[in-house]
Copies of this chain bind each other. A is one copy, B any other.
Amino acid sequence: MDRPAAPTRRITIIDVARHAQVSTTAVSKVLRNAYGVSPTMQAKVRQAISELGYRPNAAARAMRGQTYTIGIMLPDIRNPFFADILDGLTARIAGTDYQVLLGPGCNGEEAEARVIHAMIDRGMDGMVLVAPISTRAYLEQVAGVVPTVVVGRHGRSQTYDTVADDDLTGAALVVNHLADLGHRRIAHIEHHETTADCLAEMPNAIRAEGYRQAMRARGLADEIDIASTRYNQEGGYLGTRQLLARPVRPTAIFAGADIAALGALDAIAEAGLRVPDDISVAGYDNTTFAAFRPISLTSVDQAGHEIGADAARLLLDRIADRNRPTAQIKLSPALVVRRTTAPPPA
């Protein structure tokens, strides 16, 4: 009869050292590819490690400084654009000794702080914060504690590196495209966060500003019309309902995010209007769903994969040297024209 297996103690570095007839120091050095181990020692230790199936205890390592873990905070797991960023990140990290863990999507500043703290408490070696809504001061403070890369926030910092897309240009691409098609009443759906503090740095604000600038540049200053909701499906839906209720309806809607554009399409369908015959719609992010044929949404491509890869690179560099000057990477967006935009109805 089997006895209930004693809760098997995990193999430690001591077991490995004993099995390989060497010191724990030697094992530790091999684990870290540290300087000063003979090939013979290497071989002995590696064999013992694989024979025993040893795996280093991350907590114990953390107590001495390193966890080999990188924490990623994504604000909204449902927005497929963030999945693209994540792919780029993980692809770039894959070759290293680091492991990626994600903080769960969080809404609101408080929840965001909780997730960030949780990651710091758990000794992350570095963090990537995607489109955080915290104040700049808070981000600086966080970055002072652990190497941090902030994705999708404009404005340079002395403490953290940034990767962002040129949202000003991106918004202009859309407006110009629609204006070129002959539209004049081009409305915009923005994501509006109440915290004024960091507003100027947020991509949503920059896109709205880019929209305004481009409208003015095209002599359409009088047609500027913004519905302030949120970058999610419901936000797009509600914003569009607002816009469709205007005395003079817009002939084109530029939603600041694809996911909001989906909501816009929803509201438009509900109103019995056709896209693009009655009204044109453009999004932002060029997510998988924009490319999806039955939707086929005109959108702005942000190269999420590249953003993620760049963020990973910057983070690894900063972990390697915490005193290097901070870098700001700004990527250029590209317009992808599909079937939801066309000339306005005659």
A residues apposed to B, CB below 8 Å: 5, 8, 10, 55-60, 62-63, 67, 69, 71-72, 77-78, 80, 83, 86, 90, 99-105, 117-118, 120-123, 144-145, 233, 262, 265-266, 269-270, 288-289, 292-295
Structural contact, A57 and B294, CB atoms closer than 8 A: no
Known interface pairs A5-B144, A83-B105, A101-B122; 17 further A-B residue pairs with C-beta atoms within 8 A, sorted by A's residue number: A55-B120, A57-B63, A58-B62, A59-B122, A67-B122, A69-B122, A77-B77, A78-B83, A86-B104, A90-B104, A122-B122, A233-B292, A262-B292, A266-B292, A266-B293, A266-B294, A295-B295
Residue picked from A103, A104, A105, A295, most chain B C-beta under 10 Å: A104
Chain B neighbourhood of A10, CB < 8 A: 145
Q: Which residue of B lies closest to A117 (CB)?
A: B55
Structural contact, B99 and A118, CB atoms closer than 8 A: yes
Given A62-B62, A83-B77, A121-B58, is A294 in contact with B294 using a C-beta cutoff of 8 Å? yes
Residue picked from A80, A90, A122, most chain B C-beta under 10 Å: A122
Structural contact, B266 and A233, CB atoms closer than 8 A: no
Given the complex of chains A and B, what is the CA–CA distance between A63 and B59 in angstroms?
6
Chain B neighbourhood of A103, CB < 8 A: 101-102
Structural contact, A102 and B102, CB atoms closer than 8 A: yes
Structural contact, A121 and B269, CB atoms closer than 8 A: no
Structural contact, A100 and B90, CB atoms closer than 8 A: no
The 4 A-B pairs with the shortest beta carbon distances in the complex, nearest first, are: A59-B62, A102-B102, A266-B293, A99-B118
Chain B neighbourhood of A118, CB < 8 A: 69, 99, 101
Structural contact, A121 and B57, CB atoms closer than 8 A: yes
Contact among B77, B99, B123 for A59, CB-based, below 8 A: B123
Chain B neighbourhood of A295, CB < 8 A: 294-295
Q: Which residue of B lies closest to A72 (CB)?
A: B104
Contact among B83, B122, B233, B266 for A58, CB-based, below 8 A: B122
Given the complex of chains A and B, what is the CA–CA distance between A63 and B308 in angstroms?
33
Given the complex of chains A and B, what is the CA–CA distance between A104 and B83 in angstroms?
10
Q: Which residue of B lies closest to A295 (CB)?
A: B294
Contact among B104, B144, B294 for A265, CB-based, below 8 A: B294
Given the complex of chains A and B, what is the CA–CA distance between A56 and B294 in angstroms?
51
Q: Which residue of B lies closest to A106 (CB)?
A: B90
Residue picked from A55, A58, A105, most chain B C-beta under 10 Å: A58
Given the complex of chains A and B, what is the CA–CA distance between A233 and B293 in angstroms?
11
Structural contact, A56 and B121, CB atoms closer than 8 A: yes
Structural contact, A59 and B55, CB atoms closer than 8 A: no
7 sample A-B contacts, Cβ–Cβ < 8 Å, listed by A number: A8-B144, A10-B145, A59-B62, A59-B63, A69-B118, A265-B293, A266-B294
Report the minimum CB–CB distance from A158 to chain B (whole Å). Answer: 11
Chain B neighbourhood of A71, CB < 8 A: 101
Structural contact, A269 and B288, CB atoms closer than 8 A: no
Chain B neighbourhood of A233, CB < 8 A: 288, 292
Chain B neighbourhood of A59, CB < 8 A: 58-60, 62-63, 67, 122-123
Given the complex of chains A and B, what is the CA–CA distance between A295 and B297 in angstroms?
14
